[in-house]
Structure formats: structure tokens, C-alpha cells
Amino acid sequence: MRTRHAVKEPAPDDGLDLPELAPPQWNRHGSTMLDSSWIRIARHMPSLLGRATTLAWRSGPGDVVATVLFNLGSGAATAWALVATTAVLTELFAEVPTPERMASALPSLLLLLAALVARGGCGALAGRAQARLEPKVVLTAERRLLRDATAVELRSFDDSDFHDHLFRSRTRGCDEAGALVRQSADVLTGLVGIVAAAGVLSALHPVLVPLLLLAMVPQWWGASASARMRYRMLLAFTEGHRRKYMLEQLMTSRDSAAEVRSFTMERRLLTEFDRVARRELDVHLGLATRQSMVRLAGDAAGGLVTAGVFAVLALLLTQGVVPIAVAGTAVVAVRVAQGALANALHAVTRVYESGLYFSDLVAFHRQARSLLPRPGLKPAPTGFERIELRDVTFGYPSGEGTALKDVTLTLHRGRTIALVGENGSGKSTLAKLLSGLYTPQKGVVLWDDTDLSEVDGVSLRERVSVIAQDHTHWPLTARGNTVMSSPNDAERLTRAATAAQADRVVARFEHGWETLLDKRFLHGVEPSGGQWQRLAAARSFYRGDDGDAVPLLIADEPTAAMDARAEHGFFASVHDHARRTGAAVVLITHRLASVRMADHIVVLERGRVIAQGTHDELMAGDGLYRELWELQASAYRAPSTPHPGRP
Ligand SMILES: Nc1ncnc2c1ncn2[C@@H]1O[C@H](COP(=O)(O)OP(=O)(O)OP(=O)(O)O)[C@@H](O)[C@H]1O
């Protein structure tokens, strides 16, 4: 019988029919820009220009001074050129024979030429200073972002708010800081041009200034319409672009290449791509028509108003209100001012837009400041005889409920403690608290009598060696991946590599320890999962092999990808490490056969310690540990069943 709500099975060449995407972080201010009025933009302008100046001053004060001075110089040269134009026209229209007119106009002509050269030179030098300033500003913003991102406490990365701010700042904030400064300088350039034209015209005849303002109205309208058009276009294209990007990634990336083929997804992906691309093309064509209509209307309005302004000038001329030379200069000034205004208006909208994205960066810095470790903490103790957790409770900022609840246990120097429990029971969280990456919300972690919440995190982490469950594949050589930030020592490297059996991995690399472990580099190689794990284990043995300086070694699922021989060797090395260095070792693993060797075993369930003791003690009871142990052991003890169909 058919169910009423049967799900339609896609045909193999149907697209993927992806649902609506969440709004992209990098374009989150697009709709704000679409709805912003000039009044709103003008209200924000002083503070944005102030911010741009401060930012620019911090990054390159010399270039800021040069930008301002050369822009002012360019404005002065524009005014000078307009005055010289009037003088040239006055001489040319004088009622004297032509050779005499030419001769007397020559000095003014030379002055005009000099003014134009000066204007061009100042413009070029201002442009150079601006071009130098932008990358410096971006660099300052990037450095500050990276400094804050690496300085904040680890828990910040579990906070989705912090993530959003960091992502937005990284993807657009820094570049927009540079754009904010560049566009602010463009606003200055445009304003200087307008002021120069208006100043000269008001000196020539006051009636010319309102005429100039009138001639600028179509520019204003054109700038508003084209800015709105631009944002509408960006918004309309965003969704399609992102879908196309996602599909392109799936079809071209190395990670998905094998599955695209194994599950024969090629046709469905291409069909979906075509569908999205066709929709995007339709939007594009529709917008192109509307854009040309707006441009046509803008040009027509601009032409009409400019013709009107010239008609008024002609009237003033015939009435004898302004002489012909002044009218000629006014025509030039109107063109200069219109050009400057168009540039300034475009720059103003971009300053506003960049300012919105830059505000994300400012918000990130503000948040990062509140997430820095407390200042004035004391250095970590050099060692301990025992580590004690008393009633420790911990919950992740973005997690639901608590990951650890009222955990109390003790670790001793030179002994191995194993944490066991089902997925999500809190083992890794407990390891992170022990390694000083997180601090509990309730209860204390003590190294002898020192409460770790009173200890500087960096100095504490220098005393702990960790093999993380999701260890990082560093884009470094095999040596770099093992030594990390410790001093390079050949004997120590050999010891660590032997303990983790990473020496056999390295022996197979053509360049030995100098082999780059990243395929993105020339001659780089990609180790297998198990080879990476051996290297990660060597990394922690290396760090731990530092006399008494590193008294705690934590291994979280260190052998999940290792073969049976490597796994056995690793656990033997861990116990040997504890005996040899006197360090306390915390071991997290689901392979209970390896746990048996631990001096003490702690069983966790839903964030609570439900049992602890030695293997024999726990096996004597009837709890979770015994149940899990029996399950694993029975898999090995089960008699082999013949394969159906085989004799
Ligand atoms: N970064 C995080 N943000 C929010 N919740 C988290 C985070 N990491 C872990 N948790 C939650 O904390 C609880 C304990 O997780 P934890 O990783 O400590 O378990 P585990 O015992 O190590 O599990 P596994 O055996 O699968 O590695 C789980 O409910 C998990 O969903």
C-alpha cells in the first residue's frame, strides 16, 4: 500500500534541489545599504571619517599627511587653473587685433598650463600616498585580528557569537578597513574639487554658485540610483553565487572527487549547476535592461539641467550681468564640479558600506578584549605529587547542559590513569580541563595545593604534553611536526620517534625528517591516518621528554587509526614514559584491552564519574566497565561462523 506522504525519489539526472541557504555572513549589510537614505548616511559620515582618520594615522602617519596636503594642493591648483582660464578668455575676447590678443593671452596661458601640471602632479602624488596607505591599513587590521584571535581563551571558540564576529572580520572586515580609508580620501578629493570650483565662481559672480548647485542635482540622483542598483544586484546574485560555489567545490575538490564518482553524482551535480546558472542569468539580463533605463534617464536629466544652466548663463551674458570670459570659466567650473561631485557621492556611499563591515571588526576587538585571560596570574608550579579535581562541573558556552558534573578524582605522579566511557560521556572535556585549556565553572583543579584557576594558562600548558583526539596536521616537515615549539634536539627526537614508532614512518619518506607533510608544497607528501597518529604521538613524547619540566602527559584516543602492532607498542611506551620520567599519564581510549595496564581506571557516564578503581576491582563489580569489557572480549572469543554458501 502507498502512503499518502510518500517522499518523491529523485531521478538520477534531477538536480539536488537544495533548500534555502542561511544568509551569508560576508554580505549581511547588503539589505541595510539598500534601505539607507542620504540623511542616514550623512549622519554617520563624521564618525566614519573620524574612524578612518584614526585607523590611517596608526598605520602610516606620513602617508596621511601626504594625502591631505597633496589633495589640498590639487584643489588650490584647480582654483588657480580656473582663475587663469578667466584671464586667458578675457585676453582672447579683448577688442584688439588677433596677434596682440594672442601675445597678451600668452602669460595667462602659461600660468594655466602650470596650474594644470601642478594639479596633475598633486593628484598623482595624493594617489600614490593613498595607494601606500591602503595595504598598510589592511595589514594593521589583520595583525590586530590575528593577535586577538590567538590571545583569547579557548572557550571563546565554543561561543557562536564570537565565531560569527571572527568569521565576518576575517572575510570582510580587514579589507573593508582599507577600503574605508581609501574611499574617505576619495571623499576628501571630491569635496576639495567642489569647493575649489564653487570658491572661484563665487569670487567671479555670486549668482553663479546657485547655478552650480543646480547643475549638480542630476549627479546626485544618478549616484543614488546607481548605488541602489548595485546593492540590488549584489543581493540578487548572492544566493546564486553561493550555490554555484558550493556545487563547484563538490565537483572540483580533492576531498569529494572519489565520492562524486563512487556514488555517480556527476549528472545530478551538473543538472543542479545548470539550473542555478540559468536562474542567475535571467536575473542578470533583467537587471541589465533596468540599469540601462536608469542610465538613460540619468543622462537625459543631466543633459537637460546642464542645458538649462548654460541657457541661464547665456541670458546673464546678454543682459551684461557677467562678461563672456566669466561665462566661459563658469562652463568649465560646472563640468569640474560635476565630475568631482559624482566621485565624492560614489565614495560617500562606499565609505558608509565599508563602515558597516568595519564595525564588525570593531565589535570583534571589543568582544576579544573581554575574553582575554585574567591579567596578573602567577606562574604554574614546576611540578606536583598529585592532581586533584574536587566537585568539578563544566559546560560549554554553546553546549546544551553540562559536559562534566561534580567530578572528583585524584592523579599521582608516575602513574597511569585511564578514562573510559561511551561517546559523549565527557572524557575529552575532562582531559581539556586537566591540560589547562578550560577552567571549570564550579569546583577546583589543584596541583598539590595550587588552584589552577589562579595560574597563568601559558605557563601551565608549557608543563603539559597532549595528544589531541583531533590533532592538527601541521603544514611543516616531519621534524617540525614533532619538535613544534620546543628546542631541536637530535637524541630527544630519536627517543620520541622510537617510542611512538614514528621512526619507521619517517624512514619511508624520501627526505626523512625534512619531508614536508603537506601536498600543497612542492615535494610534499600526505601521510596516512595511522602515520599521522604516530607522528602526533611522537610530538607528545618529544614535549614530555624534558626532564621534570613536563610532569603530565595526556593521550586522547591516541591509537584509533593505528594498526595492532603500533597500538601495542604505543601503550607499552606510554607506561614506560610514566616510569622513566615520573610523569602522570592520562589515557583515553575505547580499546579496553589496553586500559587494563593502567594503574587506575575512571568510568564516566553522562559527565559523571560512576566508578573508579583498578581493572580487577572494576571487573569484580557489575557495572558499565565490565559490560563494555565483556562486549569487546566476546567479539574476539566468538567462534568463527562459516560464511553462508561456503562449504
Ligand atoms: N566544543 C564543544 N561545544 C559544545 N559541546 C561540546 C563541545 N565538545 C564536546 N561537547 C559536548 O560535551 C559532551 C562531552 O563531550 P566529550 O567530547 O568530552 O565526550 P567524550 O567522552 O570524549 O566522547 P568521545 O568518546 O565520542 O570522544 C558531549 O555531549 C558533547 O556534545
What is the residue whose three cell numbers read 578612518?
52
pLDDT on residue 235: 66
C-beta separation of 198 from 337 below 8 A: yes
User: Is 585 inside a domain boundary?
Assistant: no
With 0-12 / 13-18 / 19 or more C-beta atoms within 10 angstroms meaning exposed / middle / buried, residue 510 is: exposed
pLDDT on residue 517: 94
User: Is 400 inside a domain boundary?
Assistant: yes
Distance in angstroms (rounded) separating the CA atoms of residues 81 and 197: 10
Q: What is the CATH number of the domain that holds 436?
A: 3.40.50.300
Q: What is the CATH number of the domain that holds 269?
A: 1.20.1560.10
CA of 424 from ligand 1 middle (Å) equals 5
Residue with the smallest CA separation from ligand 1 atom 4 is 399
Query: Could you tell me the CA-to-CA distances from 613 to 46, 389, 413, 587, 596 in Å, in that order?
Result: 68, 16, 17, 14, 11
Ligand 1 atom at shortest distance from the alpha carbon of 588: 22
Domain final position from 301, 335, 370: 370
For 88, the domain range is: 45-370
Q: What is the number of other CB atoms lying within 10 angstroms of the CB of residue 232?
A: 18
> Does residue 166 share a domain with residue 305?
yes
Contacts for 398 with CB less than 8 Å, ≥ 6 apart: 158, 159, 160
User: Is 15 inside a domain boundary?
Assistant: no
CA of 485 from ligand 1 middle (Å) equals 28
CA of 472 from ligand 1 middle (Å) equals 18
Residue with the smallest CA separation from ligand 1 atom 6 is 399
> Does residue 444 share a domain with residue 365?
no
> Does residue 143 share a domain with residue 62?
yes
Domain final position from 318, 344, 370: 370
Q: Which residues lie across from 477 on neighbouring strands? A: 516
> Does residue 312 share a domain with residue 448?
no
Q: What is the number of other CB atoms lying within 10 angstroms of the CB of residue 397?
A: 12
CA of 425 from ligand 1 middle (Å) equals 7
pLDDT on residue 647: 44
Residue with the smallest CA separation from ligand 1 atom 11 is 403
Residue with the smallest CA separation from ligand 1 atom 31 is 424
Residue with the smallest CA separation from ligand 1 atom 16 is 426
Angle, vertex CA 467, rays to CA 465 and CA 473, nearest 5:
120
Checking DSSP bridges between strand 464-467 and strand 552-556, what pairing results, if any? parallel
> Does residue 100 share a domain with residue 233?
yes
* Main-chain phi, psi angles of 96, to 5 degrees: -135, 165
User: Is 548 inside a domain boundary?
Assistant: no
* Main-chain phi, psi angles of 240, to 5 degrees: -60, -45
CA of 489 from ligand 1 middle (Å) equals 36
pLDDT on residue 71: 92
CA of 609 from ligand 1 middle (Å) equals 15
CA of 155 from ligand 1 middle (Å) equals 13
> Does residue 348 share a domain with residue 458?
no
Mutate which of 156, 396, 469, 595 for ligand 1? The one with the most ligand atoms within 8 Å of its CB, which is 396
User: Is 26 inside a domain boundary?
Assistant: no
- Three-class HEC string of 604-635: EECCEEEEEECHHHHHHCCCHHHHHHHHHHHH
pLDDT on residue 213: 79
**Element of type H or E holding 467:** strand 464-467
* Main-chain phi, psi angles of 609, to 5 degrees: -80, 115
For 104, half-sphere exposure in the C-beta direction (CA atoms, 13 angstrom radius) is 13
C-beta separation of 330 from 208 below 8 A: yes
> Does residue 399 share a domain with residue 359?
no
What is the residue whose three cell numbers read 542561511?
22
- 70-95 in b/e form (b: 16+ CB < 10 A) is bbbbbbbbbbbbbbbbbbbbbbbeee
Q: Which residues lie across from 612 on neighbouring strands? A: 602
Q: Of the candidates 456, 440, 257, which has an alpha carbon nearest to the alpha carbon of residue 372?
A: 456
> Does residue 437 share a domain with residue 360?
no
User: Is 406 inside a domain boundary?
Assistant: yes
C-beta separation of 453 from 492 below 8 A: no
What is the residue whose three cell numbers read 598633486?
122
pLDDT on residue 128: 95
- Three-class HEC string of 146-215: HHHHHHCCHHHHHCHHHHHHHHHHHHHHHHHHHHHHHHHHHHHHHHHHHHHHHHHHHHHCCCHHHHHHHH
Query: Which residue blocks in 411-472 are alpha helix, DSSP H?
Result: 427-434, 457-461
C-beta separation of 34 from 232 below 8 A: yes
Proportion of the chain in helix, strand, coil states, percent, rounded to 5: 65, 10, 25
Q: Which residues lie across from 442 on neighbouring strands? A: 393
pLDDT on residue 23: 57
Ligand 1 interacting residues, C-beta cut-off 6 A:
158, 396, 398-399, 403, 421, 423-429, 469
**Element of type H or E holding 587:** strand 584-588
> Does residue 387 share a domain with residue 358?
no
Distance in angstroms (rounded) separating the CA atoms of residues 474 and 531: 13
- Residue by residue, DSSP assigns 497-516 as HHHHTHHHHHHTSTTGGG-B
User: Is 576 inside a domain boundary?
Assistant: no
In three-state secondary structure terms, 18 is: coil
Q: What is the number of other CB atoms lying within 10 angstroms of the CB of residue 117?
A: 12
58: left (phi over 0), alpha (psi -120 to 50) or beta: alpha
> Does residue 366 share a domain with residue 387?
no
User: Is 540 inside a domain boundary?
Assistant: no
ipTM for the predicted complex: 0.97
Distance in angstroms (rounded) separating the CA atoms of residues 158 and 174: 23
Domain count of the chain? 2
> Does residue 430 share a domain with residue 351?
no
Q: What is the mean pLDDT of each run of 10 residues along the chain (647 residues)?
A: 46 62 58 67 83 90 95 92 87 72 80 93 94 94 94 87 81 88 91 89 80 76 71 69 86 88 89 87 79 79 82 84 84 84 83 82 89 89 93 87 94 93 94 91 94 92 89 92 91 93 94 91 90 94 85 91 86 87 92 88 96 95 92 75 49
**Confidence (pTM):** 0.74
> Does residue 269 share a domain with residue 200?
yes
C-beta separation of 195 from 341 below 8 A: no
Domain final position from 323, 345, 370: 370
